[in-house]
Structure 1
């Protein structure tokens, strides 16, 4: 199946800017028109000086009423020259303004649309993607497109226009010389396309290698504390060196081709310029070409052919940009397999009853959940416990529709969740994860994350309910204190209390705590537990935990193993069974084995 060219993809994406593209292209054409006229004026000036009252200007200007006086001819020529330079400068300003504004607008739209698209992709997509590679596309690749529109597009248009305009002057003055002088042009264009075709796969490798470097750097910066703790700085530096070297080698393979373009084009230009210089001079000596015309053609040969040396840089920039645009467009074209549309609901209308009917799910060939059948009554607190990999967190991910069950269905108040509006579904669920996301903002910003027009009093009340007020009030600026990227200025327990305060402020009908206390100390766990006892009242609460002490008061506890629910009941009921849950309890509390 043939693939669509990246430039065609970009033009289709940027259809709302077509009028801007046309206007920018028009400015480029007019700028080039005025740009080549000074060479024509040189020929006219030579003609005036040599031929005087018999010059071209004396015979042909002003509808046959020529300017006979030589001095007047030169004055008139000076005025025309000023007009031409003014026109060239004005359109240079306009084209620069238009192309750069277009580049800025397009890169802004593309970055936002691509980022928005990435946010809508299902979580399964990110299992095979590296964050650094996505960062490279969203940042560097889109910047590469911007650089091309800033200058490369204008260069291409002006080289084409220059070729057409100068060729027209050549044929008007001396057709036979035009044919000889223009013979190198097809060879130059063929060579440029030949090189460009071979550069394409090499620059695709360069962009992939750049993504690898970005991915490794991103991964290492996020894990810098671990790297320092294990004293593996040199080890990780070698990984970065390997990725950077691959990027360097990929660039070297591209440079080996791109560097050859200019010398090849120069040789072709030499042939064309020499033909004009020698053959044009021969024609002038034999009276077949006027001296002024010869001067014009000599200068215009350089204006026609010499800019083509820029094809090397343009082709290089163009191919880099096409590879970058292709990656960005492919990301934007990635199919969103999860539907956001569906029946609307509001927190006020949600009771919170949940049912799992024959739910099954696998990560590839690994079965994670199978034959899950359970009902969670509205307003009750239900816990899921079990060993790592038993499927506890996957249940929550299916409920939030991060993933779609391969078997069965999940219902909220009797309505299948896949028929509900996705954003509405997630808005009625409060989610506190083991490693909650915090922004590089203030304490207040993070508590009110995702909510508009929240009062300071409501934020303070949520912090109080999460038992976070004490440490917040000790901070230099209290709720206005910035907490750093991912909340790095706070301890793990403090971050969890902020995440809990955020969920409390959201006041959802359903609250999910996914290992929310697994990485905190006993004091913080006790504080969070006290908060949960309050906030879980009158709302459906799902708790996933390793620590069984945090789920003792749950209305029902489900023990999962191998993706199945093997035991269910209250804490006391499960202990009395003296089976899997009781064994886990004794293991964690150190109680002795009950006598059989």
Structure 2
């Protein structure tokens, strides 16, 4: 498998120019960073040897002029170092933000295109962890980790060059620990990889539990289950902590090991270089340069511990993000262009078979919906009613059979165009944390305030909206939690009204309202469904009495169909359900009582 770093570098190709600039600034900063130690050696040489110094041999005989030159060079070098530090920090940090933003948006857009089956097998908290925590972890590495690696590499080359120019014998001894240090850093890095992969998985589980509990806080409170849920969070947090401890114990050993390797190189330079200086084989200034540079070369290598730790955390996160991006799309978005204005709305469900895993839900369903007519589906929970709608919206793909719209297989149509032609009001109403007006205009953002109000009036929502603190500009809270269930459902209905789709799908559109509100919504629906193809799913049969055709499903099969009057007269499943809901005595039960 390709390494996470290589996969990340492939992803950053569009930013190659910025990466080159950032690398250049980092190298130049390190070049100027090394020079002060060289100047110290030259200064010592000037003070000790005066007219016989290195600068004097270069033609500058005056000691005061030599010192002034060193002062000027020091200002220029420190200025250059500071300038390029500013440039590389701005470049790398902005690049990290840009890549982080692009990667997060690409991952989010990809997640939105995944089929619903994917979400049924994934924890929401895990996805949030990838889109937020993991990408932030990668950003931390891009912020400073890459620059640190570049600077350690450049520092090693520059200092080694100075060493070999001044004292080749000392260079070999002083630099001997460097390969061992690098080998040790990579050795630790390879063993940290699986540990941090486990840490990120544990973080995803913890995020999932937290997200689930926050969404269900009302239920937790109502069952007085706060302490029990706190114990669940504590257990997940402890697992995360223990996995982190295992990684920390290992990563914490890197610095002490590297420190001892550094010590051997520094002692060798200090002792052996001092002996060469005393014997006259090495100048005092050169000895000063070597002592300072040994520390400048070897001491930053202790940073390899932090870099290795940061790198491995980042790569574990990068692996998860890029794996998410590579999740295949089973329901492609492309297809034949579909203009909403050309849709007539004739639907045909032909021999549909569908199962969620091993659980069969639809078994050869055949339904014809003429354009402009209203068709209703009734049946017990799990009979397949909502699954038909999900297949129409292409949340899933049927294992057998097909659905056609105006004679065209919907699998061949552009997915976005298909969904724009359908107005969907589900029983689980979703509202964004925006204003009432923004939620009504969710499917038509360019709608005017007059259009929004007209849609709300048609959905019998205008009265309660007008009584809200800021009217249509009132924020509804996360998932619309500031509104009642009936209010949320009426806003969802207004959203569908404003969209004005040729096909309308109502999945238990009155499930969360009282009888008075239901009657108001029903009046709206009676006007809304005229002239458009409408599919209704309902447990309250009173809401579908006027449907052109009602289909009764049992265990994924259509067992009855006809108008309301026809089905009541047939005295089958629908008639029994109707009598139950209207409080009429069931003749079948009367016979049973008589027999008793």
- What is the TM-score with the length of structure 1 in the denominator? 0.98
Q: Distance in 2 between matches of 1:299 and 1:551?
A: 88
Aligned to 1:11: 9
| 1:575, distance to aligned residue in structure 2 (A) | 1.2
Matched, 1:73 2:66: yes
Q: Where do 5+ consecutive residues of structure 2 fail to align?
A: 592-596
**Count of residue pairs the alignment pairs up:** 589
Match of 2:345 among 352, 359, 370: 352
| 1:146, distance to aligned residue in structure 2 (A) | 1.0
Aligned to 2:481: 488
Q: Distance in 2 between matches of 1:525 and 1:191?
A: 72
Q: Distance in 2 between matches of 1:7 and 1:345?
A: 42
Matched, 1:556 2:549: yes
CA deviation profile, 1:509-540 (whole Å, cap 9, x unmatched) = 00001112122222222221111111000000
Aligned to 1:435: 428
Aligned to 2:564: 571
CA deviation profile, 1:157-177 (whole Å, cap 9, x unmatched) = 101110111011111111111
Q: Distance in 2 between matches of 1:46 and 1:440?
A: 68
Residue 434 of structure 2 aligns to a residue whose secondary structure is coil
Aligned to 1:21: 19
Q: Distance in 2 between matches of 1:256 and 1:450?
A: 53
Matched, 1:424 2:422: no
| 1:547, distance to aligned residue in structure 2 (A) | 1.6
Match of 2:232 among 220, 226, 239: 239
Aligned to 1:63: none
| 1:450, distance to aligned residue in structure 2 (A) | 2.9
Matched, 1:137 2:100: no
CA deviation profile, 1:196-215 (whole Å, cap 9, x unmatched) = 00100000111111111111
Q: Distance in 2 between matches of 1:289 and 1:588?
A: 105
CA RMSD of aligned residues (A): 0.9
Match of 1:123 among 116, 125, 128: 116
CA deviation profile, 1:94-124 (whole Å, cap 9, x unmatched) = 0000001101111111111110010001111
Aligned to 1:174: 167
Question: After TM superposition, where is structure 1 displaced by more than 6 Å over at least 4 residues in a row?
Answer: none
Query: Bigger shift: 407-416 or 521-530?
Result: 521-530
Aligned to 2:97: 104
Aligned to 1:190: 183
Aligned to 1:313: 306
Q: Is the 8 A contact 2:351 2:364 kept in 1?
A: yes
Aligned to 1:338: 331
Matched, 1:411 2:409: no
Q: Is the 8 A contact 2:39 2:70 kept in 1?
A: yes
Q: Distance in 1 between matches of 2:551 and 2:428?
A: 23
Q: How does 1:427-576 map to 2 (within 5 A)?
A: 427-576=420-569
Q: Where do 5+ consecutive residues of structure 1 fail to align?
A: 61-65
CA deviation profile, 1:535-565 (whole Å, cap 9, x unmatched) = 0000000001122222111111111111111
Q: Distance in 2 between matches of 1:41 and 1:243?
A: 56
Matched, 1:248 2:241: yes
Matched, 1:582 2:575: yes
Q: Distance in 1 between matches of 2:519 and 2:232?
A: 42
Q: Distance in 2 between matches of 1:303 and 1:377?
A: 82
